[in-house]
Amino acid sequence: MRISVFGTGYVGLVTGTCLADAGHEVICIDVDAAKIQALQQGHIPIYEPGLADLVQRNLAAGRLHFTTDAAWGVSASLLQFIAVGTPADEDGSADLNYVLAVARTLGEHMQDYKLIINKSTVPVGTAEKVQACIQATLSQRQVNLDFDVCSNPEFLKEGAAIADFTQGARIIVGTESARVRELMSQCYAPFLQDQPQKLIFMQVRAAELSKYAANAMLATKISFINEIANLAERMGADIEQIRLGIGSDPRIGPHFIQAGCGYGGSCFPKDVQALAHMAEQVGYRAHLLDAVEQVNHQQKQRMFEKLQDALAKTQGRTSLAGCTLAVWGLAFKPETDDMREAPSRVLLEALWQAGAHVQVYDPQAQAECARIYGTRPDLDLCTSIQQTLMGADALLICTEWQEFRQVSASWLAQHLASKLVIDGRNLYDPLAMQAAGLRYYAIGRGD
Ligand code: UGA
């Protein structure tokens, strides 16, 4: 099939590339000329394992095209994906300007039937707005053309996006039309193999709400386990044992109940807030969503609070002024360089506010850290984990990179003179850490 994808951000690029790799002819359109030029050369602007190879392979095969020419994108394809950003407004609601700009572009250039597929995460009712916007643009042109708009939310995780797209648990399509069902079945046929039930058709509004409900449910699991972790700390129980205990019940499941220093990223924080905002607009106070958000906000402060307590307890220090801290992990999770809403940022900013000096290391997000914070005297971007530990009064771990997991207690004890570790991701065995002479503070594992 011929498919156009508007937006070469994270979702658009993964969608376009995976569809091309499945054999479709794909045109990716973006207004950013520099980005398009780089993509035409096979250079991708984000870090996502496997994506660069896939882009290059499909460029070489002539199945994947990048362009700023929206008119070409519209006229060349029957299927038109909208995958542009929906940043959060001040009040937490999703900003639809980019989505509606694409809708206008479609209305301006279409000459025959098009199926418009919305992949951006958008509030319930947006498909109707896109429909109205295209219709209004067509009316201005005084033409009457047939088109459909459906909702097809994405469920990609950064770091695992290709597998999530090609072998995801489900593909949701919101439509009431038989023609759209047929076209979308063709589009996704290469990913269904012998599991046609993975393609789920539903109402447009149900599809739009499913996206928010899925992310809100996952965020709820995380805030729930973090709340239990905070209780476990006070009650002398180990959250890691509790996690295994409750996760073995299939009704609860083992996923997304890893306690830590809070969830970050471009999705959970934004989507939980946007859903709470949508609830308000329909006259409903979503108490649970508010609490999920509040617990997460609080959880992101835990690393700093634990450090303060530990320094007071072990070194009698009441101020962090003049302290040097090693921080491992800047990205909001492993296998990405993304620092949006990352717990590390809350920690770094609190440390600087308290007058501390910070020595950081992340396998991927160093450049992003420099971009966000610039060069500053109280920030050292180190080239290795070992370098961060030199002269450090404590080590703080914000991201569960494999490289950090592999470190042994004895290696840490040897290189960290202060022997103080605050682990926001529960990477190590507390007994092994203690045995190596380290003072180890984790999340929900007693203090
Ligand atoms: C999330 C969803 O998992 C995807 O299904 C969805 O498509 C995507 O948002 C989106 O809306 O685009 P992502 O933000 O890439 O994906 O990252 P996750 O792997 O879900 O992790 C989010 C945060 O939760 C991270 O900060 C992670 O450290 C934290 N987390 C996750 C925990 O603290 N504990 C857990 O048990 C799991």
Question: Do 124 and 187 sit in the same domain of this protein?
Answer: yes
Q: Which two tokens stand for residue 187?
A: 């589009």
What ipTM is given for this predicted complex? 0.97
Report if residue 251 sits inside a domain: yes
- The answer to whether 17 and 51 are in contact (CB under 8 A) is yes
Domain boundaries, position 236: 212-297
pLDDT recorded at residue 341: 97
pLDDT recorded at residue 200: 98
- The residues lining ligand 1, judged by C-beta closer than 6 Å to any ligand atom, are 121, 154-158, 215, 218, 222, 256-258, 260, 263-265, 267-268, 332-333
What is d(CA 45, CA 433) in angstroms, rounded to the nearest whole number? 39
Q: Which two tokens stand for residue 53?
A: 């190879």
How many other C-beta atoms can be found within 10 angstroms of the C-beta atom of residue 247? 16
Question: Do 15 and 128 sit in the same domain of this protein?
Answer: yes
Report if residue 447 sits inside a domain: no
Q: Which residue has the tokens 């402060």?
A: 301
Question: Do 292 and 330 sit in the same domain of this protein?
Answer: no
pLDDT recorded at residue 65: 98
Report if residue 128 sits inside a domain: yes
Question: Do 196 and 216 sit in the same domain of this protein?
Answer: no
How far CA 281 is from CA of 9, 121, 124, in Å, comes to 29, 18, 11
pLDDT recorded at residue 47: 85
What is d(CA 194, CA 192) in angstroms, rounded to the nearest whole number? 6
Ligand 1 centre and the CA of 256: distance in Å?
Answer: 8
Question: Do 221 and 318 sit in the same domain of this protein?
Answer: no
The 3-state DSSP class for residue 36 equals helix
Which of 263, 302, 335 has most ligand 1 atoms within 8 Å of its beta carbon, as the pocket-test mutant? 263
Q: Last residue of some domain: 202, 237, 265?
A: 202
CATH number at residue 189: 3.40.50.720
Ligand 1 centre and the CA of 397: distance in Å?
Answer: 18
Q: How many distinct structural domains can be found in the chain? A: 3
Q: Render each residue's pLDDT in the chain as its tens digit; 447 residues.
A: 999 999 999 999 999 999 999 999 999 999 999 999 999 999 999 889 999 999 999 999 999 999 999 999 999 999 999 999 988 777 777 789 999 999 999 999 999 999 999 999 899 999 999 999 999 999 999 999 999 999 999 999 988 999 999 999 999 999 999 999 999 999 999 999 889 999 999 999 999 999 999 999 999 999 999 999 999 999 999 999 999 999 999 999 999 999 999 999 989 999 999 999 999 999 999 999 999 999 999 999 999 999 999 999 988 889 999 999 999 999 999 999 999 999 999 999 999 999 999 999 999 999 999 999 999 999 999 999 999 999 999 999 999 999 999 999 999 999 999 999 999 999 999 999 999 999 999 999 987
Question: Do 118 and 193 sit in the same domain of this protein?
Answer: yes
Report if residue 339 sits inside a domain: yes
- Please say if 261 is a catalytic residue: no
CATH number at residue 236: 1.10.1040.10
pLDDT recorded at residue 314: 86
pLDDT recorded at residue 315: 84
Report if residue 346 sits inside a domain: yes
